[in-house]
Structure 1
Amino acid sequence: MTAPIDPQDPILQPIGIPAQPLAGKKALVVGVANKDSIAYGCARAFRAFGAEVAMTYLNEKTRAYTQVLADALQVPAELYLPCDVREPGQLEGVFEHIERHWGKLNILLHSIAFSPREDLHGRVTDCSLPGFLSTLEVSAWSFIRMMHLAEPLMAKEGGAAFTLSYFGGEKVVPHYGIMGTAKAALETAARYMAAELGPKGIRVNIISPGPVMTRAASGIDRFDELLARTKERAPTQQLVTPEQVGVATAALACDFAQIVTGEVLYMDGGYNIMGG
C-alpha cells in the first residue's frame, strides 16, 4: 500500500504557489496599443499576479487610448513613457527611467511589430529594401536592443523576457508575407539570447498566440479569413483572447517556471499541431 504524501516533503515545497506569485517583481510592457491588445492582456495579468508595471506608448495619438489603461494598472507617472524604437534615444530613455525609479527589472514583454503597408500586403519576392529593413528593425532588432538594455537590470535578481511571435514565422501563412520573415528572425534571435543570458538567470521565451483581432492585426490583408480558418481547424474550436494569453504568460514569468527558456510557447488552441 502506498504511503500517504507528506506535505512537509522537501520536494513539494517549491510547488507552493502564493496568492500573488509575482509580488515584488517589476515588469515593463512595451506595445500596449489599446484595451484589446495582447500586451494589455499580459500587463493586466502581471498586475493581478502582484507585479508592479511600467508601460510605454508609441506617440501622443496612442496616449489618448492608453492613458486610462496605465491608470487602471496603477502605473507610476514616471514609468508611463513614450517609446518609438525608430526615434533615437527613446528606448534608451525608458530603461534609464526604469533604473532610476526601480533599480532593477524582473519581467520584460516586447509586443511591437511594423511593416510598411505596401510591403506587408505584397509578395515577399517583391519586398523593397527599405521595407525589409524597416520591418526587421521594428519587429525583430528592437527586441535585441531591449535585451541589451535590460541585461544589467535583470542580472541583479534574474528575470523573464517575452516576445510575441506568430505561427507565420515558422510556416507559410497566406497574406502574412514579410512579417513572417521578421518573426522567424525574432524567434531565432530570442533563442540565441536565451543561451547567452541563461547563466545570468535571465530567461527568454517566445509567446506564439493564435490570431487575435487587434489593432496591429487589422493591417494584415484578409485577416478575417485567417480568424475563421483558425477557429475551424484548432482542436479547441475557439479563438484565444488577450486575457488567456496574459494569464499564461504571467504564469511563465513566475519563479516556478524558471526551467523554461528559449522556447516557442504556442497559445493557439492547438492550431499549430494540425497538419494538412
Structure 2
Amino acid sequence: MKALIVGVANEHSLAWGCAKALRARGVDLAITYQNAKAEPHVRPLAEEIGAEIIMPLDVGRPEEMSALFGAIKQRWGRLDFMLHAIAFAPKADLHGRVVDCSPEGFSMAMDISCHSLIRMVRHAEPLMEDSGSVVTLSYLGAERAVSSYGMMGPVKAALESSVRYLASELGEKGIRVNALSAGPVRTRAASGLVDLDGLIEDTLAGAPIKQLVTIDQVGAMAAFLMSPEARYVTGQTIYVDGGYSIAA
C-alpha cells in the first residue's frame, strides 16, 4: 500500500500521528514539508519511519504539486491513500470577527484550507485507478459556531461539503473521500487560535469520555479509513473527539 501524507509540521502534528499509524501497518509513505524552513522539522521524522519519498509541497505553488505527484507516479505508479492535513488563515482575520474578515484573508484561507484538497484529488485520481481513499481533517467549528474558531468555521464547512461532492463524483471509480473531525489537540496549527486553552477545557468538561484525543487515536482512525474494512464508508465527517460533538 502506498500513501501520501501532507501536513506534517512536527512530532505533535495530527498528520504525524496518521503517518506513524500507517507505517506501523506496513504502508509505504510519501511525506511532504511546506518549505525550506519547515524541512529540518519534518525530514528527520520522515526518515525515522522510512518514508520513500520526501519532497516540498507548498499548495500555492502548482509546479511543486505537479512535481510531487509526478514523483509518486514514477516511483510507485499508483497511490492508495492520501491525507490532506493543512489549513491556514492570516492571523488578523483568524483572530477577528467573521463579519470583519478581509476578502483577501478569506480567499487565502479558502484556497489553502479547502480548494487545495480539490487540486490534490485531481492529481491523485489517475493514480487511484483501482481504488483509493482520501482523508482530510476538519473540526467541530464547521458545524457549530465556536467563537474562538472564527473564520475557519465557514472554511471548514466548505471543506466538509467538498468532501461530500468529491465522494459523490469519484465513488464509481472506487475512490472514497472522508473527513476526520478531531477534538482540540495542541498542534502548531491549533496554537494560532485565540483561546485554545478554553477549547481544551470545554472539551474535557463536556466530552462523555472526559479525555482529550491524541494524535495516535486520530492516526488509528485514518488507518481504518484506508483499510478494506472501510470500503463502504465515503462522504462522511467522522468525529474523533471523545463524544464532545454529541454533548448539549
> In structure 1, which of residues 88, 99, 105 is the aligned counterpart of residue 73 of structure 2?
99
Deviation of residue 175 (structure 1)? Answer: 1.2
Once residues 92 and 127 of structure 1 are traced to their aligned partners in structure 2, the CA distance between those partners, rounded to angstroms, is 32
Report what 1:111 is aligned to. 85
SS of the aligned residue for 1:80 comes to: strand
SS of the aligned residue for 1:175 comes to: helix
> In structure 2, which of residues 128, 134, 153 is the aligned counterpart of residue 154 of structure 1?
128
Report what 2:43 is aligned to. 67
Identity of aligned residues (%): 50
> Which one-letter code corresponds to 2:111 in the other structure?
E
Runs of 4+ aligned structure 1 residues displaced above 2 Å come to none
Q: 5 Å matches for 1:107-186?
A: 107-155=81-129, 157-186=130-159
Once residues 116 and 92 of structure 1 are traced to their aligned partners in structure 2, the CA distance between those partners, rounded to angstroms, is 26
Q: 5 Å matches for 1:188-203?
A: 188-203=161-176
SS of the aligned residue for 1:29 comes to: strand
Rg: which structure is higher?
Answer: 1
Once residues 88 and 95 of structure 1 are traced to their aligned partners in structure 2, the CA distance between those partners, rounded to angstroms, is 11
Q: How many residues align?
A: 248
Report what 1:262 is aligned to. 235
Once residues 242 and 18 of structure 2 are traced to their aligned partners in structure 1, the CA distance between those partners, rounded to angstroms, is 18
Q: 5 Å matches for 1:201-212?
A: 201-212=174-185
Question: Quick check: 1:36 aligned with 2:12?
Answer: yes
Relative to the length of structure 1, the TM-score reads 0.89
Once residues 165 and 93 of structure 1 are traced to their aligned partners in structure 2, the CA distance between those partners, rounded to angstroms, is 27
Question: Quick check: 1:220 aligned with 2:220?
Answer: no
> Which one-letter code corresponds to 1:199 in the other structure?
E
> Which one-letter code corresponds to 1:234 in the other structure?
A
Structure 2 stretches of 5 or more lacking a match? none
Deviation of residue 142 (structure 1)? Answer: 0.1
Once residues 249 and 232 of structure 1 are traced to their aligned partners in structure 2, the CA distance between those partners, rounded to angstroms, is 26
> In structure 2, which of residues 30, 33, 44 is the aligned counterpart of residue 57 of structure 1?
33
Once residues 63 and 87 of structure 2 are traced to their aligned partners in structure 1, the CA distance between those partners, rounded to angstroms, is 19
Deviation of residue 49 (structure 1)? Answer: 1.1
Deviation of residue 75 (structure 1)? Answer: 1.0
SS of the aligned residue for 1:61 comes to: coil
SS of the aligned residue for 2:181 comes to: strand
Deviation of residue 42 (structure 1)? Answer: 0.2
RMSD of the alignment, in Å? 0.7
Structure 1 range deviating more: 133-142 or 57-66 = 57-66
Once residues 55 and 125 of structure 2 are traced to their aligned partners in structure 1, the CA distance between those partners, rounded to angstroms, is 20
Report what 1:6 is aligned to. none
Once residues 214 and 274 of structure 1 are traced to their aligned partners in structure 2, the CA distance between those partners, rounded to angstroms, is 24
Deviation of residue 87 (structure 1)? Answer: 2.1
